[in-house]
Structure 1
Amino acid sequence: MTADGSDPAPPRPNTSEVHGQRRSGTLRALLNALPPNTIGALWILQAAFLFTIMSTLIKLLGSDLSVFQILLVRQCVMALIVAPTIIRNLPHSLQTKRPDLQAARVFFATIAMLCGFTAVIELPLADATALGFSKTFFITIFAIFFLGETVGIHRWGATIAGFLGVLLMLNPGGEGLVDPNALLAIIGAAAAGLVSIIIRFLTRTDSPTTILTYQAVCVGILMTGPAIYTWSTPTLEEWGLLAAVGIVSWAGQMSNIRAFRAGEATAIASLDYSRLIYASAIGILVFGQWPSATTLIGAGLIILASLYTIRREAVRGRQLARAAEGRGYNN
């Protein structure tokens, strides 16, 4: 009460906070009013941009730090981000009915990231990005052997056309010499394709939290020894970039998941290929690397064949190459 016995006037609300809340509410309302596929498209475009930023940061760091060191710190940062979810769900988050598949998933995810990140460091950004798209064709092939999926002449034709694009990019000079770093990108894409198949099996028995926990923690453990052996003390700026790699990787994966929750895979999966536009622009602006004619032709074949494969999956009622777990960056 005040001196004259009246109640004190209520405190005035902070004007900037009120305006901020109104703007946030208005933006949320506008987004919710959009069609689901439009929302999914916006999320997947954001995911593609974030994965390209992640690749750019890895390429910048790779000039002074080993890929083992980069991957170790990335996994540690991502594990810290998801730690509340892991801890909140203990012991369920550690319970798996298929430890063999969890181990296989961790092994191939490690191969995928080591090879994929090395390719990003050594190749022009657009080349590494385009070669990574070949994962779609490996998923098609592995689905035949491991899922018993029947593939018709249309998808086989798309797969062959895509691999012609890959071969073109593997031998950019036309001199019969295979670029070993481009070969690493293909190995990484194949390993990532196997990861997508394994996840399809794991989701039948284990929770998403369990799958996430084993990947986040175990890949980091595997990288500890090699990272210590090749350790180079990062500068303060490099520590910031390393932390950013982990944060952006997590944000990209979350955007990817939200995209496929909001929209239909058939409608939005093709937008993932906007990564090549982002990668080409950043490659030119940041690294001064212009895509060659061979890169553009090979990338065009890969993307067109991938889009056709996704379309055929929709026609046949399949959902593997166009599913959320098949769209992340080398997992």
Structure 2
Amino acid sequence: MNESTRQSSEPETKRQGLSGNALGAIFMLLSGLGFTVYIVLSKTLTEDVHPVFLAFWRSFIACLISVPVIMRAGIGKLKTRHPGLLLLRSLFGTLGFTLAIVAISADFDLTFSQFNAISFSRSLFVTVLAAIVLRETVGIHRWGAVGVGFLGVLIMVVPGVFIFWAASGGDGFSLDLGTMTAIASAFFLAFAIVLVKSLSAELSAVALLTYANVLSSVLLLPFAIYYWSTPDLETWGWIIVMAGVGFVAQYCYISAVSVGDASFISPLDYLRLPMATVADLIIVGMLPGMNVWIGAAIIIVSAAYITFRDRNKKAQKVKVLTDR
């Protein structure tokens, strides 16, 4: 680099301010905080209203927020050649976040830490579904990481798998309905993520978010009517706050992955676990058991390995194309 090039690049760097990774890290931290507040409010609100009723209003209020955004960007942004695929993605996404609210609801004893740790298995399901649905080539290293990751899930949720150092160490841990609901939520959300890979070529993140909220509202309306509740004004206020926080957390997540490198940004999402642990300590007055920490650590390492390996493979492809 000559002197004139260096001098011209320095002011440009200063004008740019934060780097993409730094800005992405801020967005991801805000997303983690928002998601933690969201699940805390969801669990608290389900003491007064049905989880499905809450899921509808979460989607409908988010719809009211996102529609003006897409209208300002232009209605043409919603044009799609794959309406069936978009509907299927919205169906899986709706099932995923609705089951998430059900799993974390007051009807079950799943802690915030356990729920968050189980949710990290989405990346493992994504790898499996990408191989089946998108016909992506998955090598032995990634399959091995997926297998180890699911072992982490078992350690975390199945009694006695790893709690062998104390007599009756597995007492109190069981694969209950709340745990299975959380796993099902992770699976359906992973399926939605895989379908997004096919749709993101023609639709922006804002358009996908708008479609998701609109179609989720339509799909959930009959169930919301069936499980209709009559909350007081204070509860309505908290429902609006919960939906708004959920929308902001989702928007921050999308912004994070769009401005930063996936290999740098994705691991920051795991900070949701210590955030949820603090929430458990403050609200429930308890810390997660050893099996949760061990299982979550295995899942996180496996998912991080898959992320970094995908990044390296993409970098190698780019290098091959560049060398040609």
TM-score by length of 2: 0.83
Output the CA distance in 1 between the equivalents of 2:75 and 2:142.
43
1:291 aligns with 2:275: no
1:41 aligns with: 25
Output the CA distance in 2 between the equivalents of 1:196 and 1:216.
15
2:264 aligns with: 267
**Equivalent of 1:116 in 100, 113, 125:** 100
Output the CA distance in 2 between the equivalents of 1:271 and 1:205.
28
1:17 aligns with: none
1:22 aligns with: none
Output the CA distance in 1 between the equivalents of 2:204 and 2:305.
32
Output the CA distance in 2 between the equivalents of 1:105 and 1:73.
20
1:154 aligns with 2:151: no
Is the Cα–Cα contact under 8 Å of residues 97 and 206 in structure 1 kept in the other structure?
no
- Give the superposition deviation at 1:37: 1.6
Output the CA distance in 1 between the equivalents of 2:229 and 2:194.
36
Number of aligned residues: 290
Deviations 1:20-67 (A, max 9, x none): xxxxxxxxx999533332221121111111111111110111122111
Q: Which runs of 5+ in 2 are unaligned?
A: 1-12, 161-169, 316-324
**Equivalent of 1:200 in 180, 197, 212:** 197
Deviations 1:95-116 (A, max 9, x none): 3211110110111011101211
- Give the superposition deviation at 1:127: 0.3
**Equivalent of 1:99 in 48, 69, 83:** 83
1:250 aligns with 2:234: no
Output the CA distance in 1 between the equivalents of 2:182 and 2:195.
20
Superposed CA RMSD: 2.2
Give the partner amino acid of 1:269: S
Distance 1:90 1:30, change over 3 A: closer
Distance 1:206 1:255, change over 3 A: closer
Deviations 1:154-197 (A, max 9, x none): 21121111101111222145479522211111111111111011
Deviations 1:256-290 (A, max 9, x none): 12222332111121000000000011011012232
Give the partner amino acid of 1:241: W
Is the Cα–Cα contact under 8 Å of residues 123 and 303 in structure 2 kept in the other structure?
yes
Is the Cα–Cα contact under 8 Å of residues 149 and 303 in structure 2 kept in the other structure?
yes
Q: Percent identity?
A: 33
2:124 aligns with: 137
1:23 aligns with: none
Deviations 1:85-131 (A, max 9, x none): 34346653553211110110111011101211111222111001100
2:71 aligns with: 87
1:239 aligns with 2:236: yes
Output the CA distance in 1 between the equivalents of 2:15 and 2:289.
39
1:316 aligns with: 313
Distance 1:177 1:85, change over 3 A: closer
1:62 aligns with 2:46: yes
1:217 aligns with 2:201: no
Is the Cα–Cα contact under 8 Å of residues 124 and 283 in structure 1 kept in the other structure?
yes
Is the Cα–Cα contact under 8 Å of residues 125 and 279 in structure 1 kept in the other structure?
yes
Output the CA distance in 1 between the equivalents of 2:136 and 2:288.
36
